[in-house]
Structure 1
Amino acid sequence: MLSPSLAATLLAMLVPSAPKPETGRPNVVVIMADDLGAAELGCYGNANHDTPHLDQLAREGMRFRTCYATPICSPSRVLIMTGRYGVHTGWYNFTGRPGSPTFRNPNYRLSEHEVTFGTVLRDAGYKTALAGKWQLTGERPTLIHEDGFDEYCIWAYKEYLPEGVTHTGRWEGKGKSRTARFWHPSIMKNGEYVPTKPEDYGPEIFTDFIIDFMTENKDDPFLVYYPMCLTHTPWEPAPSKESPSGKTPKGLKYNVESMDTQVGRIVATLDRLGLREKTLILFTGDNGTNNAGKGQVTEMGARVPLIASCPKTVVSDVVSDELVDLSDVFPTVLAFAGVATPSGLEIDGENLLPTLEGSKSPHRDWIFSYLHRYRLLRDRRWLLDGEGHFYDCGDRRDGKGYRDVTESKDPEVVAARARFASILAGLPAPTSIPPCPYVEKHRERLLNMSSR
């Protein structure tokens, strides 16, 4: 006769065990630098800026030669989170300016009209966090939480601060009209104002928050969205261990390098936590660099870096000629997480995951950008800018050596222009909107440069 303990042991061997809870779901980290054209990084050919962490991320993953944002931040921020062009969201311009929903309706709330990747992944069981620069809509106390993020730590405009709270740190801008984002910054974390000290540096606070969030949630799948404050003006000094003053000089170079340092800290944390191989990192920018494309509906205004890395998923050391724009981030994030696109949601982006995994099939035939009523369209060879100039780019992707064929009657050019017109017919520009002084100022600068 079997003993009770031996019988129990044999029974356990014969009866299948109950399924274990799902484990090992992948993580996603999306980083979007502020005012960063592709040409600012070492891996894109910049010999003046030292960006070792992003250069290494590119070597370990895939770098795209041509990725388009929009030429200014608010439309790009909506685009990357929703996968939808302005023709569907109404976001053609900076918030509050003509061509944005908040121009005619100051009470517009993104969460009432759009679905973000934060909302979709949170509903699928992901822990979600946002840090850095929001610069969109929402009301206290549900600001940012209502757009899909469990936790957040942001640079807080005075309008974002809780009722009755006054910023006690630095101010920036003309007439010191804006709360500071860099030294002695205005910080709000999960609805609460966080007092800072003169030696506190905003980008380090945001990165510290992300590191803490990833550490606390290392056993759960998470989404981190980090729209950085760097490299936007003012180009203030950045922290420096080498300088006796503890700070670098002022300038774009040092802000780019500080940005690279923050990215490096996030990657190092994923390594330390043992999460690097199951985490997709996407790094990009929201528009071209200030005074070098930003605000112009040209390739310099729209072309931003895109670096993707995940050691077990993304093929390494690849420079891709596939065309990408920021609408592709939404479906790519969902596909990597194994989460379906919500039923009935119309998106413009295409899932980039097959390309990241090594597929040789073309990702998409064209990419699109826009600002106010001006539009930019590109395929592998041809480019139509916001002023109606048509270019034969050959196999170039960096703005150099393009041939202006606007007036050409060559059949090949005529056919390409007809194809572009057909595409743009499905992407109509907004009508009946007032002129935008910001857009016209940058447009006038571009036209003056073109006439020289």
Structure 2
Amino acid sequence: MSHHLPLVLFTFATLVASSVSHAADKPNIILLFADDISARELPLYGSTVWSPPEGGDTRDMQYRAETPVLDELANEGCWVKTTWATTVCSPSRAMMMTGRYAHRHKWWTNGDIGEVLRPNGNYEKWPLYESSPIQLGHIAQQAGYGTFWAGKTQMVGDLTRFGFDEGCFTPGNLSDKDNPYTDFKHIYRKQGGERILINVDSDKPADTYMQHGWYWYPHVRLMNHPSSSQEFQWWPNTAESRDDFGLHTYGPDVELDFVFEYMDRQQAKKEPFFVYHCSHLGHDAFDWFDPEENTKWPGAPIVHWDGTGYTRVEPKITGDEGQYDTHGTVTEPGIHNHVNYLDYQMWLYRRKLDKMGIADNTILIFCADNGTSGYGKHQSDRQKGTHVPLIIYAPGMTKLGEQDILVNLCDFLPTIADIVGAKIPSDYPIDGVSLWPYLTTDKAEHREWIYAYRGADTLIRNKYLMKDGNDRWWDVREQPDDLISYPKIDNWNDALELHREQRDRLTKIVEPFDQHDIEHDAPGTPPNPNASYGKKRKNKKQKPDQKKKGVLKN
């Protein structure tokens, strides 16, 4: 456990102390948080449109995912028709982890994060553990759970301060340049007076954004693993793992191996666990095996479903310096193959839980952080960027199958607090609403509206009306076949009285959250004279000396 917990957490710990003695009886929780996957990519949601390998829209069935295990999980548990994240990775993860909107934590969008002025005069991005010191991991820890963080962090600051005992990261953090095990990474180099992005593996220019490899031949870093006294170490970390590590090594497999190892250790101690598994699957990436390929999602290991279970083809890859042969053991590119592999991993989770004998005492949650790249990611248009899948399986739930309710990612913090038996201090404000009462009683509704943001853009909707980030209004009483082609309301004189009433109501609700241009940074922090922030709206007061800044490709 981190030794750097903020002071408020020690106060918080005393409020949940009564639950710790019974921690062994509490349900385990696995939250699989996928990356850049719109609800429309899962057949469960019934969309007539999904994403082809190059991005965009297609109705071609060969690019539609197949998810028998997630479908089964949704039927045995439930799935939510309308769940909103934000439009991109960092602020969605901030919403998920803190239970708060950006007017509190100040993570507005990628590349547009509120700053804090340090005593030495330096401005830094405001870490979530300072803006919001009670997070998912902290709540589980204080209720007696072991906590494990896997995959992508997308966080700034000290990763040991987010409430997780251990972690296995496939880091997207470009500052981690000392990995000695793989050259699947990029660097910038001056050539002919220009700054050129170079593929280190081939030593050739790369037409992409700067990244490390997180799929094949991945960068893997362990946090607080018992095999070492160090807080962080690169993996492979043993003679055996170093001998086996190579081009065939797939980052999502490594993450799951370490998750399972942790689950086994927790069971041996008879202590419950909370796994926060932030898979990269769904995120577009540079294809190291085919650097000239003009597709967004590199191929995955091949898996086959026979109606009762999966088999996986062992990958075989040979070559070097940008010239590779996958010998027919890797799928064609496409997000559908990423979704299929997530389905395979959920099958592995369910099989593991059965083998451990804890399936009846483990909650499984599948979600994603924002819309698909090339379709919804970064988009404020309607709910393209915000509409994500949500499947929940919890033994003893009263709700099964499709649930026509509204859920925000900020609802997870109070939901998990309810599950583990923790109490959030009454003077600690959050924006989420616990989903647990809805899932376990005869309660008919969850919440009346949901909200999202992208920089200065604000989005809000209920079951009748939606305002997108472009300040356009849409009639959302009926869901279209493609999940997005709602009727636009242009003439308010001819609009339904219901819609006029809801417009006024939603406009008032969103006002307290609309602080991007007036309270952008940490409280008490004067504007950084060297900063530039994201998109502004003309009717907002702008800070001086600020220019538009593009979003990061995370």
**Is 1:112 the equivalent of 2:130?**
yes
Structure 1 distance, partners of 2:302, 2:252, is 13
- CA drift at 1:268: 1.7
Alignment match of 1:341 (pick from 415, 421, 424): 424
Alignment match of 2:302 (pick from 240, 258, 273): 240
Aligned to 1:171: 185
Aligned to 1:182: 215
**Is 1:60 the equivalent of 2:109?**
no
Aligned to 1:193: 234
Residues 22, 281 of structure 1: CA spacing in aligned structure 2 closer, same or farther, 3 A cutoff? closer
Structure 2 distance, partners of 1:109, 1:21, is 32
**Is 1:300 the equivalent of 2:316?**
no
1:169 touches 1:198 (CA, 8 Å); kept in 2?
no
- CA drift at 1:172: 5.8
- CA drift at 1:421: 1.3
- CA drift at 1:107: 5.4
Provide the identity percentage: 30
Aligned to 1:6: none
Residues 378, 153 of structure 1: CA spacing in aligned structure 2 closer, same or farther, 3 A cutoff? same
Aligned to 1:416: 502
- CA drift at 1:422: 1.0
Residues 45, 442 of structure 1: CA spacing in aligned structure 2 closer, same or farther, 3 A cutoff? farther
Where do residues 237-386 of structure 1 align in structure 2 (5 Å cutoff)? 237-240=299-302, 245-297=328-380, 298-313=382-397, 315-316=399-400, 318-386=401-469
- CA drift at 1:156: 2.2
How many residue pairs match? The answer is 416
Structure 1 distance, partners of 2:97, 2:220, is 22
**Is 1:223 the equivalent of 2:274?**
yes
Aligned to 1:449: none
| 5+ long unaligned stretches in structure 2 | 1-20, 48-60, 188-196, 200-209, 224-231, 237-244, 286-296, 305-312, 314-326, 521-531, 538-547
Aligned to 1:208: 257
Amino acid of the residue matched to residue 156 of structure 2?
T
Structure 1 distance, partners of 2:353, 2:123, is 41
What's the secondary structure of 1:280's corresponding residue?
strand
Aligned to 2:143: 124
1:158 touches 1:166 (CA, 8 Å); kept in 2?
no
Runs of 4+ in 1 over 6 A off after TM superposition: 437-443
Amino acid of the residue matched to residue 309 of structure 1?
Y
Structure 1 distance, partners of 2:453, 2:173, is 29
Alignment match of 1:152 (pick from 157, 164, 167): 167
More helix by share: 1
Amino acid of the residue matched to residue 340 of structure 2?
E
2:303 touches 2:344 (CA, 8 Å); kept in 1?
no
Amino acid of the residue matched to residue 162 of structure 2?
D
Compute the TM-score of the two structures, normalised by the length of structure 1: 0.85
Structure 1 distance, partners of 2:441, 2:91, is 30
Compute the TM-score of the two structures, normalised by the length of structure 2: 0.70
2:464 touches 2:499 (CA, 8 Å); kept in 1?
no
**Is 1:135 the equivalent of 2:154?**
yes
- CA drift at 1:354: 1.6
2:113 touches 2:126 (CA, 8 Å); kept in 1?
no
Amino acid of the residue matched to residue 201 of structure 1?
Y
- CA drift at 1:161: 3.7
Structure 2 distance, partners of 1:238, 1:418, is 48
Structure 2 distance, partners of 1:339, 1:21, is 12
CA deviation digits over 1:423-445, x for unaligned, max 9? 112222410674537998999xx
1:129 touches 1:149 (CA, 8 Å); kept in 2?
yes
1:126 touches 1:221 (CA, 8 Å); kept in 2?
yes
C-alpha RMSD of the superposition = 2.6
Residues 109, 21 of structure 1: CA spacing in aligned structure 2 closer, same or farther, 3 A cutoff? closer
What's the secondary structure of 1:198's corresponding residue?
coil
Residues 41, 399 of structure 1: CA spacing in aligned structure 2 closer, same or farther, 3 A cutoff? closer
CA deviation digits over 1:342-363, x for unaligned, max 9? 3421110001012212423321
- CA drift at 1:22: 5.8
What's the secondary structure of 1:299's corresponding residue?
coil
What's the secondary structure of 2:451's corresponding residue?
strand
Q: Which moved more, 1:197-206 or 1:353-362?
A: 353-362
2:77 touches 2:397 (CA, 8 Å); kept in 1?
no
Amino acid of the residue matched to residue 330 of structure 2?
K
- CA drift at 1:171: 2.2
Amino acid of the residue matched to residue 300 of structure 2?
A
Structure 2 distance, partners of 1:69, 1:63, is 15
Amino acid of the residue matched to residue 424 of structure 1?
V
